[in-house]
Structure 1
Amino acid sequence: MITQTEVTKDLPNKKLTVVRGFAAPIEKVWRAWTEADILDKWWAPRPYRAETRELNFTEGGLWRYAMVGPEGVGNYCEGTFGSIKQGRSFSYSVKFTDADWNEDTSFPVMNFLIEFESAEGGTNVTTTLTFDEEADLQRILELGFAEGFTMAHGNLDELLAEVV
């Protein structure tokens, strides 16, 4: 099991791969990635918090959420789910929006594929993000994606140590 978040950039293919292991069975880790009440406890890097406004975890369903900062100001995102293979993987595309869920085209769209695999001592999760342009990938990195996602993984680690 991989115990630290590993981020690999593949600029020519406009792809980021993030791998992290968690000391919990797939069922528990899957729930943490797919249920709003659990997602909101770990998704945002501190001192931010996630607030799910809508989650319809079905193919074609939406996840609308805000990343709310310490001053109470939200950054909004809307994800649309693609393929869902129960307990194994799911995909979704995320766009940044305003508070009324209108797309903010000044930010790139991120395409996620989340894969879960049993490992000795827990579950490995591989997150693959793809982008339309290399510049989009660079922009997300400049905004602190790798650091923020690593912090969120730490939040999830702590949460999974509790009863979820």
Structure 2
Amino acid sequence: MPVTDVQQDLDNLTLTITADFAAPVERIWQIYADPRQLEKIWGPPTYPATVVDHDLTVGGRVTYFMTGPEGDKHAGYWRITAVDEPRSLSFDDGFADEDFAPNSKLPVFKNVYTFTEHNGGTRAVYVSTFESAEALQQVLDMGVVEGTTSAINQIDDLLAS
């Protein structure tokens, strides 16, 4: 399993997930840069993602929905804030309604994904920063650690295909 560490820090309002992959940085970057590959790893296995819009430029948006086992759909969006291809990607991540308008009842959090060479492969560090301890706790209660870990762990299967 690629995920090697998960740290929840309520004092600093962060959730940090570290994963190691047996592939070069450029290959891991491609997964996030290609919407069809992103679909294979963004949602957990039981909630696969469909990417609708995909613009990885500063100010760009990525919109998607995840479809649950009962056919229920859950929309979300990224607003891209920084790109350093192939080393890092920063974006605001939010929940949305069916038209991809932000859902103000759920938290928006800042994500910074970094990809560095490590032991002949790539170490990915995914840091999510929240506006409040309540917002972090809300997504923890929603199962974000389990969902994100299972989603990231799908990357090995994608790399093998």
Report the TM-score when normalising by structure 2.
0.96
1:65 aligned partner, one-letter code: Y
Residue aligning to 1:32: 31
> 1:113 Cα deviation (Å)?
0.2
> 1:4 Cα deviation (Å)?
3.2
Question: In structure 1, how many angstroms separate the alpha carbons of the residues matched to 2:12 and 2:3?
Answer: 24
Question: In structure 2, how many angstroms separate the alpha carbons of the residues matched to 1:69 and 1:75?
Answer: 8
Distance change (3 Å), C-alpha of 1:68 and 1:3: closer
Residue identity (%): 34
Residue aligning to 1:82: 81
Superposition map of 1:51-62 within 5 A: 51-62=50-61
2:100 aligned partner, one-letter code: W
> 1:94 Cα deviation (Å)?
1.1
> Any idea what the Cα deviations from partners look like across 1:42-95, whole Å, max 9, x if unmatched?
111111110001001111100000011122221000110011011111100011
Superposition map of 1:68-147 within 5 A: 68-147=67-146
Would you say how many aligned residue pairs link Structure 1 and Structure 2?
A: 161
RMSD: 1.2
Contact map agreement 1:5 1:150 (CA 8 A) in 2: no
> 1:121 Cα deviation (Å)?
3.1
> Any idea what the Cα deviations from partners look like across 1:124-143, whole Å, max 9, x if unmatched?
00011001111100111111
Query: After the TM superposition, which segments of 4 or more aligned residues of structure 1 sit over 2 Å from their partners?
Result: 2-5
> Any idea what the Cα deviations from partners look like across 1:22-55, whole Å, max 9, x if unmatched?
1111111000122101000111111111000100
| Structure 2 gaps, min length 5 | none
Contact map agreement 1:52 1:64 (CA 8 A) in 2: yes
